[in-house]
Structure 1
Amino acid sequence: MTALPVADGHGVRRYAADLARRHPRMLGGALLLHGLAALAGLAAPRLLGDLVQAVETGTTVAAVDRIVLLLAGFLVLQTVLTRFARYLSQVFGERVLAELREDFVGHVLRLPLGTVESAGSGDLLTRTGRDTDQLAWSVRWALPEWTIALITAVVTFVAALSVGWWVLLPCLLGMPPLVAGLRWYLARAKDGYLAESASYSRINATLTETVEGARTVESLGLGRARVEATDDDIAASYRAERYTLHLRTVFFPSMELSYLVPTVGTLLLGGYLYTQGQVSLGDVTTATLYVQMLIDPVDRIVSILDELQLGAAALARLLGVAQVPDDRTATGVAARGEDLAADGVRFSYVEGREVLHGVDLHVAPGERVAMVGPSGAGKSTLGRLLAGIHPPGAGSVRVGGAPLVELPLEELRGHVALVTQEHHVFVGTLRENLALAVAGQGEADATDEQVRRALGAVDALDWVDLLPAGLDTVVGSGGLALTAPQAQQVALARLVLADPHTLVLDEATSLIDPRAARHLERSLAAVLEGRTVIAIAHRLFSAHDADRVAVVEDGRISELGPHDELVAAGGSYAALWASWNGLEPDPPAGRPRDPGVDQH
């Protein structure tokens, strides 16, 4: 299994800077309001210091009342400014999060299918779910709070220095443990949190594989092995989380020392200077209150830094999806026809282990070719290459003389489309599920007449007309659950609407019973008249009706020709056809019967 890439620190910072450039006014407004709120909060220590000094030298009740009213006024002002600053920060965070999600979905949809299959579903599910949630928490709460704390700390420190230069000395005493602790923590935190997120991906991948293959697990008695694999993943996740917990338990307590030293130092140094007559009691009071005020924002800066590390790790994983290299390069070359040709095609999923070994196949426009052969012979792989899903490792696959990997996806899907036995029903109405076929080509929405015609072509109108709201019935998760054959008919109806010239059908009717599938294929034949069809199937009536049959064995096309000629030749196809019809002819001389040929 190949892990998807993770963006480095430079990539994360570049993306954050780009987001800031997109919203300069909103970001600037939020920072300004936070700064004004912090300034309003600085009035209290100064007024209290003045009050202490006034009491020492003598004052009046009116003067005290005036200071109390000013304190209340600045408190109200700070509350109002903080409210609007937080509101603007929240709006900014939601916009940033929305843009990030749109970018992420766009990158995911552009991932090469081969990359998705090799990475597995666990990693993508973790990035789509947990990493997105973690980043949302960081953007909505951690980042605004950290920004507030940072601005408050800077403004408060400057205000403390305005009392006198001597305040700098106790503040500097708290810097060494703070800097040392931060350097130690930051050097380890990113890798620790990335490993923690990766462990969740492995757990999700193992659980997903176990659930999806539950019947296989049960039939082969693999339950204990799958439980042990899950236990191993959980143990690895436990070790990763224990490591990050260790970082926090060392880091946060060490920070407490850096908070207390400046406050105690200010009191001691200020008291000494006061006894020497160099500062007033009001200055000592003001300075001490300012330094004490630094504890809360600095503590929040350090505490929230942990959340930001989690958010940065999540962002790096989300941005890493965009770093997956494309498996094709659209050159703008246009196809000059609809003939499909594979020349010397070789392909391997794992380096050094070829699945296809120099396959040649030329399909004329409007021709129907059936591909048959043993399971694992490479039929589906060849079909995916002919549909442009994978680029060949060597050789070429062309349509109208243009390499499939050089056609833009929109143009490619207008020439060749693939329908497999795997299908998906999206959440939405049945009409919306079908209209996706033309929406992806940038065309206007399909009309009800076109949708019904497509459903009729795949024999689906009988059950569609019985739905409670017809085409407006909500299907998919949370809606009406379609049966597997119904979902497959929806996938085929999408194909009819998409109207490509060449179709690659990889066991596209496998979930429908043989009699209904036979009727369905005859109905589709009328709709697909004049189009090129490459049908990969184990049900040999598809081969019987085809113009030519390609027998794929061991990654090569061993036989190619019309049905009658191949039966008469007495080779692999003849044995397969005889078996399909319940006959047991002797194999040709010198050629043992292949036990791996599918018979159903």
Structure 2
Amino acid sequence: MLFRYFEQLIDIFRTDSGEMPPTHVGRFYLHFLRQVWPSLLALLAVGLVVALIEVALFSFLGRLIDLAKDSGSGSAFFRAHSGELIWMAVVALLLRPLFNGVHDLLVHQTINPGLPTLVRWQNHSYVLKQSMGFFQNDFAGRIAQRIMHTGNSLRDSSVQAIDSLWHVVVYVISSLVLFAEADWRLIVPLLLWVIGYIAALGYFVPRVKQRSVVASEARSKLMGRIVDGYTNITTLKLFAHTRLEQGYAREALQDLTEQSQRIGRVVTSMDFTITVMNGLLITSTTGLALWLWSEGLISVGAIALATSLVIRINGMAEWIMWVVNGIFENIGTVQDGMRSIAQPHSVLDREGAQPLQVTRGEVRFEDVHFHYGKGKGVIEGLDLHIRAGEKIGLIGPSGAGKSTLVNLLLRLYDLEQGRILIDGQDIAEVGQESLRAQIGMVTQDTSLLHRSIRDNLRYGKPDASDAELWDAARKARADGFIPQLADAQGRRGFDAHVGERGVKLSGGQRQRIAIARVLLKDAPILILDEATSALDSEVEAAIQESLETLMQGKTVIAIAHRLSTIARMDRLVVLDQGRIVESGSHAQLLARGGLYARLWQHQTGGFVGVE
């Protein structure tokens, strides 16, 4: 129960405002730390008590020596000071373990697991809402690494700062007070040491921080290159480029090693400097205490107190040095992570955006311009009206703008000019999630999640029953191979995992799972982007009936080079250089002898089912 209480002090799945995290490192820390401030405040308070108890025990050590020296006999010593001895025993045996235990509970049960999880959850939730362009401009592995490492580094640097703060403040101030009580001259070496210690940290720490940021960037680059190679392992094997890939990773690994060595030079220099200063503190304080004792100015207990405290401060100083180094190394990692995480969303829901309501499925493109930020090209002033329930085929050479048009309909990018309407509603004015929920899509390059067949199918309908899954699989002609699937862990059928991007399935199997998934979604608007390109002729013919069923009652946009359903479309729209150049039925366009007719002639097999 005690562990559970501390483990629940932080709401790890707390929802934040959804706004972009701050881009300044201090405000970035504050953005997350203020969400767990009660736990951090408790840790700060407990840390103060722990530090005071430690100093009290050192102070009692010096007093104990003086009391024992001044007592005539052991029995007299215990009679005279039993109360004080009992109190210190209570401090050592009860209070010290109690407060250290609470400190450990706060660190290990509350903050260590809770804070990084909260940071990862909110950053992951924010990054998921980024546009397609965001993910296309970076390595997926590097983005994931930064989200994971940012949480850990933010936690470690914060806890280390809180723990070290009280040790520095309490030990230095308490030592100065205790030394002054014995003899004011004892504080001189400690004051000089404090000044030198602060100066050393002021010189070395910024250099550690600067080099840590560079090293973190090098680490992210290495991770990105390694993950990129593993993700595309098939290409690597097919082209027999193991050595080339090794060289690609070696370059990044060499850079990371060199950056780590540059940090090591600063750390070694700082370590040597602090060690010399600590040696001077111990010898000067102990020597001064012995001289003051020889002059009869302080007691033997004061010598023990001074010596033990400076030795403790010596150990603490070396610990603080490594803590400070770790803090700024972690800050460097956080700064590196901020570069990926704290970027504005380029596609945003407008304030007060309402869910899209699709009653008919009419789609209008009105004076649409889009250039991917290039200033010209791609889509230029396109107008297209797709009636409710109409099935159109988009035809055109590569680069004509077919896939871009679909991406704009899905609002994966915002238009630069014009608007797109669905049942009279501007898609820029509705919620993105509601828009995409009303559109089903089967793509040419089908990518499945590295999860079970069941989980992949339920992406189309999360609450689908197994009966509904089987029905969709049957309609997509996937019921023949799903029962035969098995993975390395012995899971079979719907429970079998498909591997990263569905690599354990053939192209045709992946495509049929994708079609079954869209069947389950049953959205009123359907997009087929080379939907049967991965299927052989026999399988392609076998699922035509399923596609016919899938298209019934829906507004359909089919992109095709070799798509057997294209001739069954109500209308074909031919694009070239972002403009509509032809429109009509298959027969009409062939008779016209334009671009469509030329593309048709260049095809090797034509369309299945065309007479």
TM bracket (short chain) = 0.7 to 0.9
The Cα offsets for residues 537-576 of structure 1, whole Å up to 9 and x where unpaired, read as 2214232121222223333333222111111111221122
Identical pairs, percent: 24
3-state SS of paired residue (2:458): helix
Task: Find the counterpart in structure 2 of residue 60 from structure 1.
Answer: 73
Q: Which residue of 2 aligns with 1:18?
A: 34
Change (3 A) 1:506 1:251: farther
Greater alpha carbon shift after TM alignment, 465-474 vs 430-439: 465-474
Q: Deviation at 1:371?
A: 1.8
Q: 2:496 aligned with 1:474, yes or no?
A: yes
Partner Cα distance (2:376, 2:218) in 1: 29
2:528 pairs with 1:505: yes
Q: Secondary structure at the match of 1:510?
A: coil
Residue identity matched to 2:343: V
Q: Which residue of 2 aligns with 1:454?
A: 472
Residue of structure 2 in register with 1:574 after alignment: 597
Specify whether residues 557 and 255 from structure 1 end up closer, same or farther in structure 2 by C-alpha distance, changes over 3 A only. farther
Residue number in structure 2 paired with 1:76: 93
TM-score normalized with structure 2 length? 0.82
AA at the equivalent of 2:171: T
Counterpart of 1:205 in structure 2 is 224
Matches within 5 A, 1:174-323: 174-212=193-231, 228-323=247-342
**Residue identity opposite 1:200 in structure 2:** R
Q: CA deviation at 1:7?
A: 3.5
Distance 1:244 1:423, change over 3 A: farther
Match status 1:87 vs 2:87: no
Residues 99 and 582 (structure 1), Cα distance of their counterparts in 2 relative to 1, 3 Å cut? closer
Partner of 1:389: 412
Question: Structure 1 residues 559 and 517 mapped into 2: Cα distance closer, same or farther (>3 Å)?
Answer: same
Residues 438 and 498, structure 1, Cα contact 8 Å, conserved in 2 = yes
Alpha-carbon distance, 1:350 to partner: 5.4
Report the Cα offset of residue 90 of structure 1.
Answer: 0.9
Structure 1 window deviating more from structure 2 (356-365 vs 569-578): it is: 356-365
CA gap of 1:206–1:480, structure 2 versus 1, over 3 A, is: closer
Structure 1 residues 223, 380: CA separation in 2 closer, same or farther (over 3 Å shift)? farther
Match of 2:168 among 153, 156, 170: 153
Q: Does residue 1:49 correspond to 2:68, yes or no?
A: no
**Maintained 8 Å contact 2:570/2:585:** yes
Structure 2 SS opposite 1:512: coil
| Aligned position for 1:522 | 545
Q: What secondary structure sits across from 1:504 in the alignment?
A: strand
8 Å CA contact retained: 2:355, 2:430: yes
SS at match of 1:564: helix
Structure 2 vs 1, CA of residues 403 and 527 (structure 1 numbering), >3 Å: closer, same or farther? same
**Contact 2:393 2:572 (8 Å CA) reproduced:** yes
1:313-337 per-position Cα deviation (integer Å, ceiling 9, x unaligned): 3334445555322223323256565
The equivalent of 1:117 in structure 2 is 136
Measured after TM superposition, the shift of residue 388 of structure 1 is 1.6
Moved more, 467-476 or 336-345: 467-476
**Secondary structure of 2:481's aligned partner:** helix
User: Which residue number corresponds to residue 438 of structure 2?
Assistant: 415
What SS class does the counterpart of residue 565 from structure 1 fall into?
Answer: helix
Is the alpha carbon distance of 1:64 and 1:9 closer, same or farther for their aligned partners in structure 2, counting shifts above 3 Å? farther
Which amino acid counterpart does residue 388 of structure 1 have in structure 2? R
C-alpha distance after superposition, 1:411-456 (max 9, x if no partner): 11233344323344335443333223334xxxxx222233223222
Is the 2:22–2:31 Cα contact (8 Å) retained in structure 1?
no
Aligned ranges 1:308-347 → 2 under 5 Å: 308-331=327-350, 332-333=353-354, 335=356, 338-347=361-370
Shift of 1:80: 4.5
The count of corresponding residues between Structure 1 and Structure 2 is 568
After superposition, the Cα gap between the structure-2 partners of 1:214 and 1:157, relative to the gap in structure 1 and judged at 3 Å, is closer
One-letter amino acid matched to 2:168: A
Contact 1:503 1:534 in 2 (8 A): yes
C-alpha separation in 1, matches of 2:330 and 2:71: 54
Cα distance in 2, alignment partners of residues 426 and 329 from structure 1: 26
1:430–1:72 CA distance, 2 compared to 1 (3 A) = same
Of 560-569 and 428-437, deviating more is: 428-437
Alpha carbons of structure 1 residues 76 and 425: separation in structure 2 relative to 1, 3 Å: farther
Do structure 1's residue 555 and structure 2's residue 555 form an aligned pair? no
User: SS in structure 2 opposite 1:374?
Assistant: coil
TM-fit CA distance, 1:486: 2.4
Q: Indicate how the Cα distance of structure 1 residues 39 and 432 shifts in structure 2: closer, same or farther if over 3 A, else same.
A: same
| TM-score normalised by L of structure 1 | 0.84
**Structure 1 Cα separation of the partners of residues 254 and 484 of structure 2:** 51
Aligned residue in 1 for 2:192: 173
3-state SS of 2:412 partner: coil
Residue identity opposite 2:54 in structure 1 = G
How far apart are residue 42 of structure 1 and its match?
A: 2.6
Show the counterpart of 1:351.
Answer: 374
Residue 464 of structure 1 pairs with residue 477 of structure 2: no
Opposite residue 177 of structure 1, the aligned amino acid is: G
In structure 2, do the counterparts of structure 1 residues 299 and 354 end up closer, same or farther at CA, with 3 Å as the change threshold?
farther
The alpha-carbon deviation at position 509 of structure 1 amounts to 2.7
Instruction: Find the aligned partners of 1:423 and 1:173 in 2 and give their Cα distance.
Output: 69
Query: For the Cα contact (< 8 Å) 1:340–1:363, is it kept in 2?
Result: yes
Structure 1 residue 346: deviation in Å?
2.9
Alpha-carbon separation, structure 2, partners of 1:554 and 1:98? 47
The answer (yes or no) to whether the contact 1:30–1:85 under 8 Å persists in 2 is yes
Whether 1:34 aligns to 2:63 is: no
SS for the counterpart of 1:462 is coil
Q: Does 1:543 align with 2:575?
A: no
Superposition deviation, residue 34 in structure 1: 3.2
Structure 2: tracts of 5 or more residues without a match: 1-19, 607-611
Write out per-residue CA displacement over residues 166-224 of structure 1, whole angstroms, 9 at most, x where no aligned residue. Answer: 24422221123322222233323334222222223333333444455566667778777
Between the aligned partners of 1:264 and 1:525, the Cα distance in structure 2 is 91
Alpha-carbon distance between aligned partners in 2 of 1:268 and 1:334, rounded to the nearest angstrom? 79
Gap change, CA 1:475 and 1:582, over 3 Å in 2:
closer
State the distance in 2 between where 1:347 and 1:471 align. 44
For 1:545, the aligned partner's letter is R
Aligned 8 A contact 1:387 1:417 in 2: no
What is the alpha-carbon distance in structure 2 between the residues aligned to residue 156 and residue 260 of structure 1? 18
What per-residue deviation string (whole Å, max 9, x for no partner) do you get for residues 340-399 of structure 1?
A: 222333333353463333333222221112222223333222221122212123332332
